[in-house]
Copies of this chain bind each other. A is one copy, B any other.
């Protein structure tokens, strides 16, 4: 797909996936897009665990709170932040870094005909992030921040409506010239 078509086609998909497989080669392309996102000081503070094994997927889905988009996903990409990656410098860019990587992966999944959704805040409740980390052998000094279910959508993917130019974007000055 062409770039701007992908930008318009991506949407947060929360319904069921079909049982069409997602080959490892496609998941590698999706994660490679995440790896190629920029990061503060090129610190590359984001890591990725791609869960495709059905039993392991089911365990992650159960920890995260069963729902159609997780239970039917052919893969769950677990996005991990290293909060110490830039800790010796005056700033930390861990959140910015993983967010850029997640966005690249959401677009890449869309470009390959899949759908996904950025599941983030839900992991911060009830120790869910730490329980997923324990399940996948993720070290204690890292944080699970996002999971991305991936599959072929069984229903149409739509993009939320947005406020656009004139509402939250202007030339030259806030609120327009």
Contacts and interface: CB of A to CB of B under 8 A. Distances in A.
Contacts of A118: 38
Nearest to A82: B168
A90 B123 CA distance: 12
Nearest to A32: B164
Instruction: Kindly state the interface size class of chain A when it binds its partner.
Output: 35 or more
Contacts of A24: 171
B4 A33 contact: yes
Copies of this protein in the complex: 2
SS class of chain A's interface: helix, strand, loop or mixed? mixed
Interface string A101-144: 01110111001000000101100110000000000111100000
Contact of A170 (B35, B36, B48): B48
B40 A120 contact: yes
Given A56-B173, A138-B174, 16 more contacts: A3-B6, A7-B104, A10-B38, A31-B165, A32-B164, A35-B168, A40-B120, A44-B168, A49-B170, A49-B172, A80-B174, A93-B120, A100-B102, A103-B104, A136-B172, A137-B173
Contacts of A170: 48-50
Contact of A169 (B4, B31, B160): B31
Contacts of A38: 10, 12, 103, 106, 118, 160
